[in-house]
Structure 1
Amino acid sequence: MAHFPPSFGFQVTPTLHNKAEGPTLPSNNAVHSIPFVVLVTGAGKGIGFQIALAYAQAGASGLVISSRTQSDLDELTRQVKKVNKQDVVKLAAKTENHFGRIDVVVANAGVMSKYITAEDGSHRLPYNIEEDGDLPRVFDINLIGTYLLARHFIPLLNASPNRVQAFIAISSVTSHFSDSTFTPLAYNVSKLAQNRLIESLHNDYNAQTGLVFYAVHPGVVVTPQTEEHRKASDGKKWDAVLNDDIGLCGGVLTWLTSAKREWLSGRYINANWDVTELEGRKDEIINRDLFKFQMAV
């Protein structure tokens, strides 16, 4: 990722990781208190599946997992259909009734704009707003879905005191992108808005309740979605960046929630960062209020 500008955050720690290792291995982040209940949306496959698996390996006593399709959840044995307000309300109620608490909520469900067939016959992601007619659907899942989870699970997080009380949105480095030449406008802007949502939730809740909120770039990994990118007419551009292990993010999240890390709450975090080196910058991160999106003047 050396070709990205410094503002994209890949130079925050001298060491970058492509897989979970050392302090980010789930086996090194065993939960300290039982019960410990984790909700992961979009857990049927890909990154979400691996996040759920990582928490299981870390010893979570309860997992609530959701996906938009039954087939995706066959391996995880639980079905929650397409996320909407009514389903999120029911999911929160069922979680409270079954477990009586929630410790970590991971808003992982996400989509990218649909492929188009361009005038030149190429099959690819849209390059601009005229080509990208999928913004309402992308925002509905990526941003509104995160909003609904926060709105209906924050009360349950707040009712589970003396624990980590973490709400995590799986964001993306594409939230830094200011054009659509690599990934579509709808996806990029939805992830940028997701980052600001996390910052706002921190400002609204952390001081009063102790809840913590994180926006996490999970790495650039081969998933069922990104595998399709390779098949597109311009798919070769993905070969240089799809280098991270699919279990990277899950491991990092088990580290992130192994303690209440309020100094990282409200901020954008890159799963590639070396967490030991990151902790070494703790005072600087707090004093300079780093890893937030601000206008340069």
Structure 2
Amino acid sequence: MDMNAPPAYMGMSFTPTIHSSVPPNLDPSKVTLPAGFVAAITGAGKGLGYQMALSFARAGATGISISSRTGPDLDGLETAIHAIDPKVKVLKTICDTTSSTDVARLASDIASTFDKRLDVLIANAGIISKHLSPSTTPTSTTRPISSNLPIGILEDTDWQRVLTTNLHGTWLTIQHLLPLLISPASRAASAPATIIVSSSLAAHSPSSLLCPVAYNISKFAVTRLVEHIASDHARDGIQAFALHPGAVLTPQTVGHAAEGGVWEDLLGDDEALAGAFCVWLSRERREWLSGRLRVGWTPDSLSAWSIDRDCICWLCLNLKVCEKIFVAGTEQRDGLNELKACSSDRQTDSGQTFVSKRH
């Protein structure tokens, strides 16, 4: 796969304009969030989660819960938040999202600190497989490219740790914090109840050349988990999004870029873009967008297509039908119309659902 010209079904060019930095209409400092707005972000100590917390501070959040496994990182983030707005109430919690005990304590702390109110949960905690070195690379495999990332099932021995953190940890986080989102205190507020899960375009890749198999499958799984939440808990007023945060150079991906080659060209998106997009998603109801989103997509274009919600709620999975519609040179708008025409037949040749109908 040529990532300089990725196939259209990966969704990287779904809107006519793609952003790599925060555009003016996503600037969180120009947003006024509803009074008393409370955000909770896991995996907030570094990288994307850190910037997400700052975005909500810029947007005027009343309270922000930040959690990670490393206390000193949270101390630095609290200082940065208060440099933006000293009035923000910050809750710091050391939390391993794979521990039910830790996540239950996080939920309890949020409830007691913010009077049982929570408006948006961003389940951002996640990891990627450990890098390999010549001494740890299995001799039974061949390596098609020079890379420190494990390629294929034999090399990716980090499966359980990655799936436990990225999938089970996300499940636990949502399971424990969902009651707060739908509590009377939260629903009395004017803000929508929003769940955002950090996913990845890796969810749509059947190759380990860009990301290891364990990471790819974990992000595929949380993307479907988000669809279940959106479907099963719409009755509770929940809107849920699986967000691809962009190709960002974070503490976890900096090792990839050091390898040389394709990574320097790919990892060029601004860390702050994901946080700004999270503010945009959670400041008002956008359930017609429930599904997978890429932060570089243009909000104005997405809003203009809200009438096509049966089509825009698709998963953009690597399926034959999507390949037929988009790779064959069909214009994006025509592709949406074709998807809408096909929405009554939701199963592809491979038996996987590609359209999520919302009414």
Range into which the TM-score falls when normalised by the shorter chain = over 0.9
Q: Is the 8 A contact 2:123 2:196 kept in 1?
A: yes
Whole-angstrom distance in 2 between the partners of 1:82 and 1:150: 14
Equivalent-residue separation in structure 1 for 2:289 and 2:125 (angstroms): 22
CA apart distance, 1:29: 2.0
Q: Which residue of 1 aligns with 2:217?
A: 189
1:212: Cα distance to partner? 0.7
> Does residue 164 of structure 1 match 2:192?
yes
Partner of 2:20: 18
Residue from 64, 83, 94 that aligns with 1:80: 94
Residues 85-131 of structure 1: CA distance to partner in whole angstroms, max 9, x if unpaired? Answer: 10111110111111021000000111000011234896611000100
Of the candidates 328, 348, 351, which is equivalent to residue 296 of structure 1? 348
Give the C-alpha shift of residue 290 in structure 1: 3.6
- 1:106 is aligned to 2:129: no
Mean Cα deviation higher: 115-124 or 50-59: 115-124
Matches of 1:29 and 1:147 in 2, distance apart?
30
2:76 partner SS: coil
In the alignment, the residues of structure 1 paired with residue 241 and residue 310 of structure 2 have an alpha-carbon distance, to the nearest angstrom, of 18
In the alignment, which residue of structure 1 is the partner of 2:331? none
CA contact (8 A) 1:2 1:10 kept: no
In 2: Cα distance, 1:106 partner to 1:81 partner: 14
Are the equivalent residues in 2 in contact too, given 1:169–1:198 (CA < 8 A)?
Answer: yes
Structure 1 unaligned blocks of 5 or more: none
> What are the within-5 Å matches in structure 2 for residues 243-282 of structure 1?
243-265=268-290, 267-282=291-306
Letter in 1 for 2:310: N
Contact 2:95 2:106 in 1 (8 A): no
Shift of 1:41: 0.6
Deviation string, structure 1 residues 156-201 (Cα, Å, up to 9, x no partner): 1001114210010011111110111111000000000000000011
Query: Which residue of 267, 271, 286 corresponds with 1:242?
Result: 267
2:250 counterpart letter in structure 1: T
Q: Does the CA-based 8 Å contact 1:269-1:291 persist in structure 2?
A: no
Aligned Cα root-mean-square deviation (Å): 1.7
Structure 1 length normalisation: TM-score?
A: 0.93
1: distance between equivalents of 2:314 and 2:53? 26
CA contact (8 A) 1:52 1:65 kept: yes
Please, which runs of 5 or more residues in structure 2 have no aligned partner? 79-91, 320-346, 350-359
Instruction: Measure the CA separation in 2 of the matches of 1:123 and 1:172.
Output: 20
Q: Distance in 2 between matches of 1:87 and 1:287?
A: 38
Deviates more, 1:275-284 or 1:287-296: 287-296
> What is residue 126 of structure 1 aligned with on the other side?
150
TM-score, normalising length from structure 2? 0.78
The answer to whether the aligner puts 1:139 opposite 2:140 as a matched pair is no
Distance verdict in 2 for CA 1:123–1:70, change over 3 Å: farther
Contact 1:174–1:188 (8 Å) recurs in 2 = yes
**Equivalent position SS for 2:254:** helix
Paired letter, 2:129: S
| Alpha carbons 1:24, 1:251 under 8 Å: kept | yes
